[in-house]
Structure 1
Amino acid sequence: MKSQERMRAAHAAYQKGDLSGALVQAEAVLKALPRDHVALQFAGVVAAQAGFPEKASDFLRKAIACGGDNDDNRINLAKVLAELGQWNEALKLCQPPDGKPSQDLQRLEADLLKAQGRPNEAVWAYERIVHEQPDNFDAWNNLGNARHESGDLDAAMDAFQRARQLKPQESIVFTNIARVLMSKDRYEDACLMLEKAALLAPQDPAPLIELGRTLTSMDHPEAGLRALGDAARLDPKNPRVFVSIGQAFTDLSNQPQAERAFKFALQADAKNPVGYLNLGILLEKANRVDELSALVAAARQHGVDGPEISYLEALMLSRAGKLDEALQLAKSISSTAINEATIAQLKGQLADKLGLIDEAFWAYEDMNRAMAQSPLGLSVDRSAYQRNMDGLRHQTTADWFAGWPKVDVSRDPPSPVFLVGFPRSGTTLLDTILMGHSDTHVLEEIPLIETVAQAVGDLTRVGELSANEVAAMRELYFQELAKASPVPAGKMVIDKNPLSMVRMPLIHRLFPDAKIILAMRHPCDVVLSCYMQNFKPTEAMSSFLDLANAARTYDRIFAYWETCRKVLPLDVHMLRYEAMVEDVESEVRPLFDFLGLEWESGVLDHQKTARERGYIRTPSYAQVTEKVYSSASGRWQRYRKYMNEVLPILQPWAKAYGYEVD
């Protein structure tokens, strides 16, 4: 076959999408005509598209050397070299021998600088382009992106506004403006821009994905899911959509749906590292460590590597007790794909277990700093919860309680038992023990009382609720209970939600005969432990982003609790964490007597109960599958130099509850 016929065959194969066939024919032509720059250019383009960048670069270099020194060959070769990481050679191609680069080469140089992570130089290159081409939409848009990456947010916004003037119906500009607004912590404004972008490009899933992720990060996962659902309908095989859907379901504590979404993402792309990361974290939190190991092995088999898989391996090393190896691996991880607070918390946990006190505390500082700078962290008033506690405490007086109108409260269904306590006081261990009894139905932090509190509205009017209102609020509680966790006949409901301890007037109004279990732990230990947790920064939990605020929150909550104890006739049984970890049976037997439940020795096998309960919502998910150890008791002493500033706040409470501080 003659060379011309082979080239025609090569072009025909290319037109059909047969890149391999086209490349075979082109290479056959080059055996006969090794210096034909047209054939070399064609072979280079086909090789690049077929995924052979090294071969493509060889062909394109020869094409330029053999008389094909034109913009097309320079641009194609530069892009291939950039893919190979050969940035310097790629940039040199932007400067032709005559020193007069075309507009296309100027734009390529700017694009390469930006892609290489040199935004300041890219800004200069794009500014030169827009100076010469003031109506170049792409250049203004890219200038905005480069300025954004360089940290010049106001200048970035100026560039995007100019691009918007040039093409007011271009969706991508609104998406880019939204990203700048997010960098300015203006998340609500960013959502408006993303909604506009989605309207302008109704067939493009990208702005919907961005909108869904942003809404989820602002603690609006239901709204996020609506946007992400629309994106999934447009692009049902996009792994990023399903990872984002899984993250929204995770925020809603709907682990089965989250797991399903992450698995969909991996079905769409078996090499998606973020899908592996999120599914792996879910499996680890569900104590499904064997499945986590199998997942990491599957990732390796598909050639997936990088920080996401390293993070999962660090989790497995930690579970295996290989703490030094886990910490070293965790320190090596740096990726925008992994939440900074998540990595910092793992480092802190590992350093703490290894006795590296300073290193652990610094890691927890990094974690809390990152959470404070998150969209949700920036949106909350960290002192609002304390002010709320003060207001409720000042209202809760003996005269106020005496003025409550008497109402007859139904005893059917029976009142729940409420398990409360300051977070990190051992409530998860205790609810696991209670869960092991055949006659209990334990709820794990389902916000039933908060739902009722929202329905009541102004909690200062709890004492004014009429008999009909009390009946309606009780009915609401049991309706929500039936939806969230149907109760088998004859089971005692135990509603575990630590901070329900600040809802005692409401609880007593609706359930005057309710038994209350108070989990107690050394004030210094719980405050430190809360500081070490990566809580979602809600109004209450944002209090724990710094130690001083955490201590003040403890002070306000217990001041209110003690006021309620004095004013209301509450039926309370206090159980100490420190005593429980020393001798579980001696501490919990009286609790079962208090509840009127027959003793069952099986409740002591909390490890078995924890394994059978599946996903645990709280930060204690790993500890409750282990034996009970007392190593966490008195941990604050090891961090005393960091705790000294809050001891004046906590010492009176420690003394009041029989704990030592000196």
Structure 2
Amino acid sequence: MRRERPKPLRTSDRGGATPRVGKASPAEKFMGEGLTALHAEDYERARECFARAVQADWRHAPARLFLARAQGLAGRASECAIEMERLVQIAPRDAALLIEAGQTLEKFGLFEQAGGLYERALGADAASVDARVRLASNAERLHRLEQAESFASEALTRNPLAHEATLVLARVQRRTGRGDAAIETLQGTLTRSEPPDFAGARLWYELASVFDGQGRFKDAASALGRAKLLLAERRRVLAPAGEEAEYTLRRFAQELTPSRVQQWIEASAGLASARISALVGFPRSGTTLLEQVLAAHPLIESVEESQHLSTELVTGFYRAVTGADSLAQVLDRIAAGDVRRCRENYLRAMAAHVGGPLGEKWLLDKNPIRTLMMPVLRRAVPGAPFVVALRDPRDVVLSNLMQAFEPSAMNVAFLDVAHAGAFYALHMGGWLKLREMIDGWIEVRYEDVVVDPPAQARRVLDLLALPWHEALDHFQDATRGRAVRSPTYAAVREQVHTRAVRRFEHYADYLAPALPAIEPIIKALGYA
């Protein structure tokens, strides 16, 4: 399955500066190889190359920045943060570099540490609008809404065209019950000077969210249309890569047969079991809420939306097999030694998130949209149990259409209503086929979780053979301080509610183009 390549650090539209590489530095001879490894998703190799660059020139800031990123991508978040501290010691007054470093930390969920770097950036450049924008966004992400509003207002006072500050201010206004103020904030900017491309689309998406919260569903649908119109060129450019990813997935689903899956199971029988489980489904199916409930258990460590299953197992398997032109053929042909090596890399990367011995704990690999990759996980970790989050397909598709995802090959389908429906049907139609061929899984419905979270958690604990723990009765208290990388980070602070159940009923006309593709899935999953 085609995955997004990690982007090199670059000048951002928020003011981050691309580190300049000094030609005379001895670190240079290692940088190219490190970047090649990074782009190939060989993160351990990238770590080695950038570490050698740092050894060659310990003051080479770009090498340290890329080393930190490779550490994070390899699952070593604590080492990523340590490397950033060393970078600060090298360039304590370089505001642009500090902002770039903070943005890197945020990619790996290190929001508190990122905020510290933004504060240092503002200390280094008291006039910096970019530092204020980053502090505003960071504070809103950490639910410090008064602080977020203050920084956003300061940024807009200094630069009324700081569009991300407008976005943060509107989010704070919406989250604090001031929907009319949020509409005024957003429409004022969009009327005066609509930003192009994704910057403008994010404002329209936020406006749609505000309208939705006020029950103005036709206005919300109109705002969504404006957002996607601004992203039409992105859609055109990304279409070939998106089609390639969908073809790979479609072919894998077509090539699944009971005998083939059984062959993979038997080939992995000699491997030891491991306390690894997965939480999959489709984005916006309730995986974040269910993960928050389960993570309150002291014997469950959740790893949220890492790339390790893709990079260490899927990509690792592909690299090990020559001449295969499909993932099913890779699983057919991969040698036992290569499976063991990729398995060790995956388990090491996952365990790095825990920061200590795993002991009796289960690692929960939360990875929505990786449902059809469960045979790959089982090839490396025999019998690994997994949970498939379900939700009414109409609500799932609608919710994805309402998200301000930065366009990529893996989400370009959500820029068009009909395509979004087909994309969902591809994934979940594949699951309907796969679930008849394997065992050791359960399905958990979002509609049941929001009514009785502990009851659904008990079903997962039974799957994992874990006892009940009283912390799950108060899971929001137990997980309140956890950083959430999902786009639904704001929702985890709310009390569990049923407002999002059957939201699609308010968007019948807007959602109509998606229905032909998803109607068979609606019936098969019992949502008709």
TM-score by length of 2: 0.75
- Counterpart Cα distance in 2 of 1:400 and 1:628: 42
Per the alignment, in what secondary structure is the counterpart of residue 578 of structure 1? helix
Would the alpha carbon gap of residues 269 and 371 (structure 1) be closer, same or farther in structure 2, given more than 3 Å must change? farther
Would the alpha carbon gap of residues 227 and 468 (structure 1) be closer, same or farther in structure 2, given more than 3 Å must change? closer
Per the alignment, in what secondary structure is the counterpart of residue 536 of structure 1? coil
Among 319, 323, 339, the residue aligned to 2:179: 323
The 10-residue stretch of structure 1 (228-237 or 282-291) with the greater mean CA deviation from structure 2:
228-237
Match runs of 1:371-410 below 5 Å:
371-374=231-234, 378=238, 381-404=241-264, 406-410=267-271
Cα deviation code 1:597-628 (max 9, x no counterpart): 22223213233234211x21111101111111
- Counterpart Cα distance in 2 of 1:415 and 1:627: 31
Would the alpha carbon gap of residues 390 and 310 (structure 1) be closer, same or farther in structure 2, given more than 3 Å must change? closer
User: What residue number does 2:189 align with?
Assistant: 333
User: What residue number does 2:160 align with?
Assistant: 306
Per the alignment, in what secondary structure is the counterpart of residue 597 of structure 1? coil
The 10-residue stretch of structure 1 (588-597 or 248-257) with the greater mean CA deviation from structure 2:
248-257
- Counterpart Cα distance in 2 of 1:409 and 1:271: 62
Cα deviation code 1:131-182 (max 9, x no counterpart): xxxxxxxxxxxxxxxxxxxxxxxxxxxxxxxxxxxxxxxxxxxxxxxxxxxx
- Counterpart Cα distance in 1 of 2:64 and 2:229: 29
Q: 1:465, CA displacement in angstroms?
A: 2.7
Among 424, 431, 434, the residue aligned to 1:554: 424
Q: Does 1:275 align with 2:131?
A: yes
Question: What letter matches 1:573 in structure 2?
Answer: I
Cα deviation code 1:32-90 (max 9, x no counterpart): xxxxxxxxxxxxxxxxxxxxxxxxxxxxxxxxxxxxxxxxxxxxxxxxxxxxxxxxxxx
Question: What letter matches 1:306 in structure 2?
Answer: P
Match runs of 1:25-36 below 5 Å:
none
Question: What letter matches 1:385 in structure 2?
Answer: A
User: What residue number does 2:500 align with?
Assistant: 632
Unaligned runs of 5+ in 2: 1-6, 12-19, 25-37, 51-60, 67-86, 319-325
Q: 1:512, CA displacement in angstroms?
A: 2.3
Among 197, 200, 208, the residue aligned to 1:348: 208
User: What residue number does 2:374 align with?
Assistant: 504
The 10-residue stretch of structure 1 (524-533 or 361-370) with the greater mean CA deviation from structure 2:
361-370
Question: What letter matches 1:442 in structure 2?
Answer: S
- Counterpart Cα distance in 2 of 1:226 and 1:378: 29
Q: Is the 8 A contact 2:271 2:380 kept in 1?
A: no
User: What residue number does 2:16 align with?
Assistant: none
Per the alignment, in what secondary structure is the counterpart of residue 527 of structure 2? coil
Per the alignment, in what secondary structure is the counterpart of residue 450 of structure 2? helix
Match runs of 1:192-591 below 5 Å:
226=62, 237=93, 239-251=95-107, 253-256=109-112, 258-293=114-149, 295=151, 299=154, 304=158, 306=160, 308=162, 309-334=165-190, 339-374=199-234, 378=238, 381-404=241-264, 406-411=267-272, 414-451=274-311, 452-457=313-318, 459-460=327-328, 461-486=330-355, 488-567=358-437, 569-591=438-460
- Counterpart Cα distance in 1 of 2:174 and 2:327: 45
Instruction: Write out the 4+ residue segments of structure 1 that deviate beyond 6 Å after TM superposition.
Output: 198-202, 227-236
Aligned length: 448
Q: 1:466, CA displacement in angstroms?
A: 3.0
Max Rg structure = 1
- Counterpart Cα distance in 1 of 2:409 and 2:212: 27
Q: Is the 8 A contact 1:423 1:498 kept in 2?
A: yes
Q: 1:241, CA displacement in angstroms?
A: 4.5
Per the alignment, in what secondary structure is the counterpart of residue 480 of structure 2? helix
- Counterpart Cα distance in 2 of 1:407 and 1:586: 33
- Counterpart Cα distance in 2 of 1:495 and 1:242: 31
User: What residue number does 1:37 align with?
Assistant: none
Among 585, 597, 605, the residue aligned to 2:474: 605
- Counterpart Cα distance in 2 of 1:378 and 1:636: 27
Question: What letter matches 2:314 in structure 1?
Answer: A
- Counterpart Cα distance in 1 of 2:204 and 2:235: 18
Q: 1:370, CA displacement in angstroms?
A: 3.7
Q: 1:471, CA displacement in angstroms?
A: 1.7
- Counterpart Cα distance in 1 of 2:204 and 2:127: 26
Q: Is the 8 A contact 1:243 1:265 kept in 2?
A: yes
Would the alpha carbon gap of residues 395 and 265 (structure 1) be closer, same or farther in structure 2, given more than 3 Å must change? same
Question: What letter matches 1:658 in structure 2?
Answer: G
Would the alpha carbon gap of residues 201 and 507 (structure 1) be closer, same or farther in structure 2, given more than 3 Å must change? closer
User: What residue number does 2:525 align with?
Assistant: 657
Cα deviation code 1:309-353 (max 9, x no counterpart): 544332222121121222222221256599223222211111111
Question: What letter matches 1:474 in structure 2?
Answer: R
- Counterpart Cα distance in 2 of 1:659 and 1:347: 30
Cα deviation code 1:175-220 (max 9, x no counterpart): xxxxxxxxxxxx99x99xxxxxx79999xxxxxxxxxxxxx9xx9x
Q: 1:506, CA displacement in angstroms?
A: 0.7
User: What residue number does 2:28 align with?
Assistant: none
Q: Is the 8 A contact 1:368 1:534 kept in 2?
A: no
Question: What letter matches 1:609 in structure 2?
Answer: A
Would the alpha carbon gap of residues 467 and 310 (structure 1) be closer, same or farther in structure 2, given more than 3 Å must change? closer
Q: Is the 8 A contact 2:296 2:478 kept in 1?
A: yes
- Counterpart Cα distance in 1 of 2:517 and 2:173: 38
Q: Is the 8 A contact 2:205 2:402 kept in 1?
A: yes
Question: What letter matches 2:125 in structure 1?
Answer: D
Q: Is the 8 A contact 1:409 1:510 kept in 2?
A: no
Q: Is the 8 A contact 1:377 1:538 kept in 2?
A: no
- Counterpart Cα distance in 2 of 1:624 and 1:367: 25
- Counterpart Cα distance in 1 of 2:497 and 2:392: 16
Match runs of 1:12-23 below 5 Å:
none
- Counterpart Cα distance in 1 of 2:239 and 2:513: 27
Structure number with greater CO (CA < 8 Å, separation at least 6) is 2
- Counterpart Cα distance in 2 of 1:409 and 1:255: 41
- Counterpart Cα distance in 1 of 2:303 and 2:416: 29
TM-score by length of 1: 0.61
Question: What letter matches 1:489 in structure 2?
Answer: G
Question: What letter matches 1:574 in structure 2?
Answer: E
Q: Report the identity percentage.
A: 26
Question: What letter matches 1:459 in structure 2?
Answer: L
Question: What letter matches 1:391 in structure 2?
Answer: R
Per the alignment, in what secondary structure is the counterpart of residue 282 of structure 1? helix
Per the alignment, in what secondary structure is the counterpart of residue 383 of structure 1? helix
Q: 1:377, CA displacement in angstroms?
A: 6.1
Cα deviation code 1:552-586 (max 9, x no counterpart): 1111112221222223x231111110111122233
Q: 1:409, CA displacement in angstroms?
A: 3.6
Q: 1:268, CA displacement in angstroms?
A: 2.5
The 10-residue stretch of structure 1 (274-283 or 242-251) with the greater mean CA deviation from structure 2:
242-251
More helix by share: 1
Unaligned runs of 5+ in 1: 1-186, 192-197, 203-215
Q: Is the 8 A contact 2:235 2:407 kept in 1?
A: no
Question: What letter matches 2:401 in structure 1?
Answer: Y
